[in-house]
Structure 1
Amino acid sequence: MEKGKRTHSEYLKAKKLRQRKRKILRASVYMIYYGFWTIIIALVLYFSYSFISSKFGNQARLKANTKDIVMYNDESFTDNDTTVSHSSTVSNSKSNNGNDSSSNQPRKQEIVNDGTLVVCIDAGHGGKDRGCNRRKRSEKNDTLKLALEIQKYLNSQGIKVVMTRSKDNYLTLQERVDICSSKKCDYFISLHRNCGNGNGYETWLASDACDEAKELANNIHTGMVDVGVSKDRNVKTGSQKNPNEDYFVLRNTTTPACLLELGFLNNSTDNKYFDSNTKAYAKAISDAIISTYNKYHSKNTKK
């Protein structure tokens, strides 16, 4: 046999080797191809599930706890994307017969007419109390942001401002009320944001609010709506939980007071309104405060 020529058995062995290599290569190609599409499909399913859970899961849980809005609790906190209960922020305003503790009794609204306007701005929540929160956004940060803008604008108008908090710190509801009282503030404005199945802006009053408090709330509400809101939810009395139960800070302040719910934090449209109109909201609130005070007090009062 000549050198370089293969025998029939060697030829068959080489052929089988080539066929085995082709099978291995073909299997590798199939594995890579189907593996790629399996990963793509898995990612699509994962993100779809995450989106649906985020959008509808929280709403379903919220709906199970409340028909419309989930409010906030001064003593209960959460680190997830759900909101907390608001039961401790209200005090019974109409079921009392004068025999309950003084904390549940309405305080007489005292107006210090000394010619100097002093406004208490209460940025709701703070510190360990995040309030309503969704993903990386917390109510406590939004309320402080607006409170600081209001302070800046009022100061530019020569108005003295008392802040219940100027940073991310925790205060009880009673401490907020006490700050307003000790500084002899003329008005108390509490800033909050809603969460739940809804959208829009609303203003809250105590059920037995004085005429000046009603004027203050209506002027602020009109100013906010004029700036722009997704929905006008009106001026209301009592609380979301019960029309006969007032929010603690409204029930226990000694001056005209109102509580502002600045849109729903879990509603993207309301968040866009809040973010784009923060300074305009601050100006509208401040102008309403000044005009209300001027109406009820001497025209020669000092700012």
Structure 2
Amino acid sequence: MLPRSVKALSAVALWGLCAFFAVTAPSHAADKPGTTDKPFMVVLDPGHTPKQPGALGVRGIYEVRYNDALSAKLAKALEATGVQVLLTRAPAEDISLDGRAELANQRQAALFLALHHDSAQLKYLVKTEVNGKPAYQTLQPIAGYSIFVSQRNPQFAQSQQFAKLLGQAMLALGRPPTLHHAEAIAGENRELLDAHLGIYRFDDLLVLRKTTVPAVLLEVGVIVDPVDEKYVADDAKQDAIVQAIVAAVTEFRSGF
């Protein structure tokens, strides 16, 4: 999730490296045969769109490609456990923030989970080039995941419950939370609900406050940090992150 000042920069067309992250949206899981219970549905929201691609990382790749790649893997893994998954959009599609929330509400999902990859404020970044294309890199290490919930969501308690399970799963993976969003500077200053688990309160995040189901936004890693970007771009590490998220969803599901 890029600061507004950086997201306002002109978008640059994606180039050859995008093929590394090319994904296709998996099919939605059908209801389990022979059961009459309502399926446990997760609405999975890959953040941003091709027209509004989000943060520009250290390799000159926009955030949306990381989001799409991980969302496709996660959808497949969740479906393998019997969870019904609905992606808010395919990689080439656009959808409004309101549309994402409306989709979860209309389907009465058990959980809304938005996946993003993080940046930092401009004061901590230097603009660079990769093969003649623009990129951003941190001036100092800023790495780890962040989890956001909104108290304006009517299912705030359940949102917090899943956020804690997600934070525990990420910690078990060996991922630390990044606490830079709590810094008292313009564009940050978010309330830390749980510093150990990296859970923030961000009431005005539209996709969280407009959903009427439990809703959480996960910043998987910091793509402007060279070390953290290498971690989240690694295929095996992506698989491990996916399994950590699946473990959190499975635990959350057991309480239904």
TM-score bracket, shorter-length normalisation: 0.5 to 0.7
- Structure-1 residue corresponding to 2:60: 136
- Distance in 2 between the 1:131 and 1:72 partners? 10
- Of 208, 224, 248, the residue aligned with 2:170 is 224
The structure in which a higher percent of residues are helix is 1
CA drift of 1:143 comes to 0.5
Q: 1:170 aligns to what SS in structure 2?
A: coil
Distance 1:275 1:70, change over 3 A: closer
- Of 125, 147, 159, the residue aligned with 1:203 is 147
- Higher mean Cα deviation, 251-260 or 179-188? 179-188
- Distance in 2 between the 1:233 and 1:212 partners? 23
Deviations 1:238-287 (A, max 9, x none): x9465464211111101001101111111111112212311111111122
Percent identity, aligned pairs only, is 23
1:278-289 → structure 2 map (5 Å cutoff): 278-289=238-249
- Distance in 1 between the 2:46 and 2:159 partners? 19
Counterpart of 1:227 in structure 2: which amino acid? L
- Distance in 2 between the 1:217 and 1:250 partners? 12
Supply the RMSD in Å over aligned alpha carbons: 2.6
- Structure-2 residue corresponding to 1:157: 81
- Distance in 2 between the 1:132 and 1:142 partners? 10
**1:176 and 2:100 aligned:** yes
- Distance in 1 between the 2:9 and 2:85 partners? 29
Unaligned runs of 5+ in 2: 14-36, 125-141, 192-201
Runs of 4+ residues deviating >3 angstroms: 239-245
- Distance in 1 between the 2:161 and 2:178 partners? 17
- Structure-1 residue corresponding to 2:112: 188
- Structure-1 residue corresponding to 2:46: 123
Counterpart of 1:153 in structure 2: which amino acid? A
Report which structure shows greater RCO (CA 8 Å, sep ≥6).
2
- Distance in 1 between the 2:4 and 2:215 partners? 19
CA drift of 1:184 comes to 1.8
Counterpart of 1:281 in structure 2: which amino acid? I
Residues 149 and 279 of structure 1 are in contact (CA less than 8 Å); yes or no, is this contact kept in structure 2? yes
| TM-score, length basis structure 1 | 0.57
- Distance in 2 between the 1:77 and 1:125 partners? 15
- Distance in 2 between the 1:163 and 1:245 partners? 23
- Distance in 2 between the 1:186 and 1:159 partners? 10
1:1-303 → structure 2 map (5 Å cutoff): 70-71=2-3, 76=8, 78-79=10-11, 115-134=38-57, 135-196=59-120, 197=124, 198-208=142-152, 210-229=156-175, 231-233=176-178, 240=188, 243=191, 245-276=203-234, 277-295=237-255, 297=256
